[in-house]
Amino acid sequence: MPPASDGSSHWNKEGYIVKALDQTTVVFTSRSANEGFARAVAACFATQLDPTLDEIADIKTAVSEAVTNAIVHAYPNTLGKITMRMRLLEDLQLEIQIKDGGVGIPDVEQARTPLFTTGNEERSGMGFTIMESFMDTVKVRSTVGKGTTVTMRRRIARRVGGGQ
């Protein structure tokens, strides 16, 4: 049976259907003030899994990096749209997808290299490295001229009496 077409389920790498238990999407403009908004929304959504404060801090940091990349690099000198989709998956997993319709990344592997940046000297080039250190998986898809999608997953530790 194929996964639902509404995006609520998908095939995992083992060939099983993974169902989204809850999901929400927010769309906002690429203003720097919205980085804090995205962090707060992701943290609030994640609380359904009863994470620790450290887990929340990790998620907020990863979201901050992904959204900042979209604000700074996807839409240079202009405003654009950023879409953040969050899903609670089976087995206490949180999936957060940050998507922009900006300029795209010509070489994703190079962009994921620590200290590589296309920005000015203010930028550290550590955004993807930071995302990878705080999340279990980070996938990046990009098409030049069409935009970039960063999909991050984090499993929340199961605690007695908490979570699902």
The predicted model gives 57-84 an average pLDDT of 93
Q: Domain segments of the chain: what residues?
A: 17-155
How many Cβ atoms are within 10 Å of 23's Cβ, its own excluded? 16
CB 84 within 8 A of CB 41: yes
List strand residue ranges (DSSP E) for 14-163, in order: 17-29, 81-89, 93-100, 137-143, 147-155
pLDDT at 63 > cutoff 70: yes
Supply the pLDDT for residue 158. Answer: 80
Q: Which residues are catalytic?
A: 65, 69, 123
pLDDT at 139 > cutoff 50: yes
CA distances to 37, 94, 117, 152 from 141, in Å: 24, 19, 17, 12
Supply the pLDDT for residue 91. Answer: 84
**CATH topology (fold) of 17-155:** Heat Shock Protein 90 (3.30.565)
CB 37 within 8 A of CB 147: no
Instruction: Name the nearest CA neighbour of 46 among 97, 90, 91, 87.
Output: 87
Structure-block tokens of residue 12? 């995992």
How high does pLDDT run on average in the chain?
A: 82
